[in-house]
Amino acid sequence: MFRFLAIALLAVLAASPRAAWAREEARTIVVLHDGGDEASPLVYAAPVLKYLGLLVEPHSAADPLPDLAGRADVRGVLIWLDTGAVADRAGFTAWVRGATQQGLPVALMGATPDADDRFGLFLALDLLYAHDERAYTYDLRAVEKDTALIEAERRFDNLFPPVDIVRPLQDAAVQPLLVLQRRSDVTDRTMPLIVTPKGAYAAAGYALWVSPDGKTQRWMVDPVAWFRLAFHLDAVPTPDLTTLNARRILSLALAPSGPDDGPAAIAAGEHLMAGHPERSLDVLLDGPGNRGPVAPPRPCADRARAHLMGYSHLLAQLDAGEAPRRIAGYTPVLLVCEAESDLTAGAANAVLGHARTLPLATSKISPEALDIDFGAIRLDRIDTGVWRVLDRGALNTLRFDDADHLRIDWSRTEGVLGAGRVHGALYISLDPDAGEPVVALTNMPWEPPPFATLVESRWMISGLVRDVETAAMNVQGSGPGDMVWSVEPFSEWELTFKPKTGAPARYRAVAGFDGVLSFSLPASAGDGGTLTFERHDLAEVGP
Amino acid sequence: MNGPLRFLSGIPLMLMAAALLVLGLQRVVPAPGPVVVAPSYSDLLIEDGQFDAAVFWNGVLAKDGDPAALRRLAATADLAGLPGMRASALERLVKTGRATLAEHVETAQLLAWAGALPDALTVMFNAERRFPDKVDLSFLSFYAALARDCRRADVAVPLAQRMWTQTDNEAVLRILIDLSGTGR
């Protein structure tokens, strides 16, 4: 009887290997706001949260507070109010306390909620709170400042917005980013930017600066680092739509600036493509969609600006999408106006000339193909440091931020081409042909990979089959095939590139002490092709 | 001989006639279509992210002390993150007598931040004189704190008394206790 039960149990476990351990990574952030679509958290925080792979679930503070009990998909709660108005003043503190007791970090930003029990509200975040009637701040000085995290886009210059008194309940385990003190009184201190084990607090005006006319905004904290700290995001895989094979995706597009400018946009596209079939260029007749940056700022009235300023600002915007963090692909949209269509060529030349100097990825994949249902992507944690990626659509990259100490554990990884590092982040390149790739990370010291692994590539690579001696794959992309692979140090390889149209070519490549193979294939993979690696230095072994 | 002289003396008259004709024609020509408001050079510089250049340009435009130009200079300096330049522009705006109460208070804050406490106190004094019916508790507490830090008991004490008579709640009591300090 026992033997029968054991066999039955084993059969069930074998039939459902995922169910044994798999737990979907919680990615939902419940966002409480007190405005409409223009509320600060939806305008400013939502793009950052999306960049971090999180899903925003907005709730108005004018409605009943959402029930969070039993919600396994919720990663944390962001309360960012513009006026502080809440409908449930009596129940607000209990709701926040319930969230923190459930283990959900709560980030409190903007205006202080108009809750009946404000002291209890801050206490739920392990903070002590007292209202400060002194509306002046000229006698405040910063006595502690985390310079790596604050003053990201604008300096305080000791001009601090009015702030209440907030201090930690216990000094241990809190991380104050800014400590202010009045005159020389060490007992008269406040911490307007602070992270605790229960969440984080940013006083109004300390996380984001908005100009009086509302047209300009600057982050006073590094928003990515801030939300990573607030929501305890350590080694979490992030679906990344900016990158292909560790390189920014290049995709230039034209769009009509008005309903009558469609023909002009098509004509400008044909003009730009003439003689350059390898160029990747889209004409977006329905408008820019999610692509950006969009230029010029004043289509149909841009001649003076174009002549006086040129396109340096557009190029600076594109550069800002790469550093200090890669937050956007290289996907500019040029608005075409029939009356000023001659300016489009100048703008396109500026962009393409700039793009030529950068390591970008060029392939048939477009941002629209990557405009996938972000919420549908499932990241199942199947073991410590191991995730299975499901329902990913055209997603080909997972990113791990601040991952200098992490690398791929190849013994437990499936369907992955390789990984490259950019600005401290690890970009994992998934094989487009892999159904449900598995990504495993380790913090063990680096050791040579057991086979050729991709570091970065300009072309798209798919269908990779490899072993210790060989690798074969499909390639597609415009321009030269710049690639970097990681192999065993001092190994020797023969590469065979067969474009779909054109003659095949063979190359010999030798890795140095760093095990890096870096090469550039001729620009003939616009219609696709194959690439094979064969190792030549392994000694023959007899029977 | 008189002929050429008569001709030369007629040249200015001819030029004036031509100018009047051109200007007159310009005045009667109707606008060809909808008026397009051209962006100012300052707007273009700001759009282009050249904030320092925009501050310089607006500084030139504000040389004659025009309040609108001074406001624009102050706003551009704010965008550029130049509080000293912003304070200077606002201080000039206050001196024109055309600044709002909020602009007075902001000027005083910037001056106080820069350590110019007596100047800040002067701005607050004039603000109260110009807007006697609009000052509130936060204004008075800032004003009184400045008077305390400038060691102007003759200003601070009456202010404290006024604050106490305006509202005797606990908040004011705390401010007064703070004011009783000696500027640690």
Query: Which one of A135, A298, A312 has the shortest CB-CB distance to B39?
Result: A298
Say if the Cβ atoms of B44 and A157 lie within 8 Å. Answer: no
Residue B88 pLDDT grade (very low, low, confident, very high; cuts 50, 70, 90): very high
Say if the Cβ atoms of B81 and A216 lie within 8 Å. Answer: no
pLDDT number for residue B153? 82
pLDDT number for residue A516? 94
Contacts of B142 in chain A (CB under 8 A): 135-136
pLDDT number for residue A170? 85
Residue A359 pLDDT grade (very low, low, confident, very high; cuts 50, 70, 90): very high
Residue A39 has pLDDT above 60, yes or no: yes
Say if the Cβ atoms of B112 and A138 lie within 8 Å. Answer: yes
How far is residue A485's CA from residue A473's CA, in Å, rounded to a whole number? Answer: 13
Beta carbons within 8 Å of A254's beta carbon, 6+ residues apart: A265, A268, A269, A272, A281, A282, A283, A284, A333, A334, A335, A336, A344, A348
Contacts of B171 in chain A (CB under 8 A): 133
Say if the Cβ atoms of A138 and B109 lie within 8 Å. Answer: yes
pLDDT number for residue A158? 82
Which of B42, B45, B47, B111 best tests the A interface by mutation, with the highest count of A CBs <10 A? B47
Residue A19 has pLDDT above 50, yes or no: no
Say if the Cβ atoms of A155 and B81 lie within 8 Å. Answer: yes
CB-based contact, B168 to chain A, within 8 Å:
no
* Class of the domain covering A23-233: alpha beta
Domain ranges in chain A are: 23-233, 251-361, 374-535
**What are the tens digits of pLDDT across the range A330-344?**
999 999 999 998 899
CB-based contact, B175 to chain A, within 8 Å:
yes
CB-based contact, A137 to chain B, within 8 Å:
yes
Using left for φ > 0, alpha for ψ between -120 and 50, and beta otherwise, residue A273 falls in alpha
Say if the Cβ atoms of B113 and A183 lie within 8 Å. Answer: no
Say if the Cβ atoms of A158 and B113 lie within 8 Å. Answer: yes
How far is residue A29's CA from residue A57's CA, in Å, rounded to a whole number? Answer: 6
Residue A241 has pLDDT above 60, yes or no: yes
Contacts of A159 in chain B (CB under 8 A): 83, 109-110, 113
pLDDT number for residue B29? 45
Residue B178 has pLDDT above 80, yes or no: no
Least confident window among A68-72, A112-116, A448-452: A448-452
Residue A213 has pLDDT above 80, yes or no: yes
CB-based contact, B39 to chain A, within 8 Å:
yes
Say if the Cβ atoms of A298 and B78 lie within 8 Å. Answer: no
Count of C-beta atoms within a 10 Å radius of residue A503: 9
- Give the A:B interface size as CB pairs under 8 Å: 71
Residue B7 pLDDT grade (very low, low, confident, very high; cuts 50, 70, 90): low
Say if the Cβ atoms of B38 and A304 lie within 8 Å. Answer: yes
Q: What are the tokens at A260?
A: 């009558």
Element (H, E) at A19: helix A17-21
Residue A374 has pLDDT above 70, yes or no: yes
Which of A133, A155, A300, A308 best tests the B interface by mutation, with the highest count of B CBs <10 A? A133
Say if the Cβ atoms of A158 and B81 lie within 8 Å. Answer: no
How far is residue A143's CA from residue A128's CA, in Å, rounded to a whole number? Answer: 19
Whether residue A273 contacts residue A344, with contact meaning beta carbons closer than 8 Å, is answered with no
CB-based contact, A136 to chain B, within 8 Å:
yes
Spatial CA neighbour of A187 closest among A198, A195, A179: A179
How far is residue A28's CA from residue A77's CA, in Å, rounded to a whole number? Answer: 9
- CA-to-CA separations, A535 to A511, A539, A543, B18, in angstroms, rounded: 11, 10, 20, 88
Q: Which residue of A has its CA nearest to B41?
A: A305
CA distance A187 to chain B (A): 12
Least confident window among A105-109, A127-131, B137-141: B137-141
Query: Which one of B47, B175, B184 has the shortest CB-CB distance to A297?
Result: B47
Spatial CA neighbour of B173 closest among A133, A458, A218: A133
Residue B34 has pLDDT above 50, yes or no: no
